Structure 1
Amino acid sequence: MSPLSQESTKPSADSPPESLPHRTLRELVESRWSCREFLPREVPPAEIERVLDVARLTPSWCNTQPWHVDVVSGGATEGLRDALRAAIADGPAQNPDIEFPAAYEGVYQERRRESGLQLYASLGIEKSDRAGSARQMLRNFDFFGAPHVAIVTTEAALGPYGAVDCGLFVGNFILAAHELGIATVPQAALATQSPVIREYLGLKPERQVVVGISFGYPDGDAPVNAYRTSRQSIAEVATFHR
């Protein structure tokens, strides 16, 4: 592999959105990163609506727009944290609505491993420190300290393509947030607790939890927010037929 590294500049949480320079789509995609340590400061409701106003324009198959997002803030965030902590007290059993991969093999396992090693290295967790890695994994259910979580769901009857369309929605959500200086981290881990989330939010049985997105302002001093993952080259991504 000859992956392309993403930019390593860290955004400032202290700059108001109005002072952020205009960035092209290329610049947004290159500089976006998954935040794993947030400040407690909440994002103003108007800014959250600005993000959603972009994400809602996401294209979908036959314009079905299968996504719905439940945005959790304030006391509701703390309540969901408490519900998840109680559910995983004896270990985080996996109960996703959408089946997870059976295994990661070959290059997919290599990429997953590379990302994991970078994460643990940034936190000073040794490869052999199973307890340390387990503690970090459990931080998923604490939303890494984020004051907000967006739970994205699809309609079960729409099958895999409904989830695919939701993936497009998630991509636009996180880029729209990044443009405003709001950090995000999409978390499949939250989908492992779909029954807990469904009960807490009062979701209908036909709504499937696709992913959760924790978001807020990043802690720029946290080492875990400094590392960046790699990307494939064009030659690895594409095959051209002429």
Structure 2
Amino acid sequence: MRHPVVMGNWKLNGSKEMVSNLIKGLDAALEGVEGVDVAVAPPVMYLDLAEQLIGKAKNKIILGAQNVDVNASGAFTGDISPEMLKDFGASHIIIGHSERREYHSESDEFVAKKFAFLKEHGLTPVLCIGESEAQNEAGETVAVCARQIDAVINTLGVDALNGAIIAYEPIWAIGTGKAATADDAQRIHAAIRAHIAEKSEDVAKQVVIQYGGSVKPENAAAYFAQPDIDGALVGGAALDATSFAAIAKAAAEAKK
């Protein structure tokens, strides 16, 4: 039985005060919420503070991070290794986000290397996939998502997806205010799951597939009512404790 995961990607946002207020506010707002895993991914320099605050929280919050390198140590200025992330309690690591693919020229193959490195170190990859607006309009959405997933499957085998999370995020819906309809998102999620099922039905049944792209409290319930949508990777709304908790509550309610 798949368990929904709602994860907040804070991107390049934060301060000590914001991190403190956000985690404390989220902890209070999650009181009594069960049936959903809630995770946050702050900028890496705030992992220490976030770990301390989460350690004092009454409700379980999973600590994540927004990126990882493919090296364990050495002369790689500005990068961070899986063991460093683990040292600060981070377990769910976002890779392949469209912003990394675009601004840092990360290829499908490079993202697959990150996926493999995270699995090797016992961390949970949150693998972002998704198409551009032009690809969507050309009807290439499923083909693009399949290609991005196959970079992992062809390198590591389909069983590598066990215990991982896939986040389908149409690029045209990230931070734009646009969002796929619940029916459209379900159609793509079902196609992604069917593609994985061609390699392994067991893996396809258990893998968590989140939706991301302008998810808000107002539209969250409609997404989570769909059978193949297992939570969300949330951007802007994750920067507000009340809004983010409302999304988590919607996921818990929908999957009862």
Q: TM-score range by the shorter chain?
A: under 0.3
TM-score when scaled to structure 2?
A: 0.27
